Amino acid sequence: GKMSAMAETIDLSVLWENAAVAVRLVQIAAYKDFEENARQFGQAPRYYGLLGMIETNPGLSQTQLAGYLHLVRASIVPILDKLSADGLVERRLDPTDKRIRRLWLTPKGRKLMSKLSAVAQQHEARMFAGFSKGEKQALLQLLRRANANLSRNYESLESVA
């Protein structure tokens, strides 16, 4: 049709010349694919990474979690409020410092993550179709390095957790 003929003349190179733009474009596509394939889990899929951090680091503080996800603590509180209300995350006061709230997945949260992990594996398979294991590992390593270059010093964050 008319659109496909027009689309052929569009120069998309600007989307792939700047790494930040390219990463954001892939992130949007990945997010849409994952959400579509995890629709039966409601809002939880959008918090898969956050829930995964809590699952693999039980007792992580809200401040630590916010820092690792590049969020300000205030923006993570309403998300954790919702996940707590949904029965997925439990907050507990730190026994030695009552200003610190520590996070755990509830049994319901762990069960959900088990189901979401299967969806995430299928998503990864679609995203990396045609990639060798080495290519995928190289990409992840390069992204970790870029993230480290842009990250705050987490040691100073953790000392005030």
Q: What is the pLDDT along the chain (161 residues), one digit of tens a residue?
A: 555 556 578 999 999 999 999 999 999 999 999 999 898 888 888 899 999 999 999 999 999 999 999 888 889 999 999 999 999 999 999 999 999 999 999 999 999 999 999 999 999 999 999 999 999 999 999 999 998 888 854 444 444 44
CB atoms within 10 A of CB 10: 7
C-beta of residue 62 within 8 angstroms of C-beta of residue 73: yes
CB-count exposure of residue 133 (10 Å: 0-12, 13-18, 19+)? exposed
C-beta of residue 105 within 8 angstroms of C-beta of residue 59: no
pTM assigned to the model: 0.80
CA 153 to the chain's CA centroid: 20
Q: What is the pLDDT of residue 157?
A: 45
Q: For residue 34, which amino acid is it?
A: F
Q: What is the pLDDT of residue 150?
A: 87
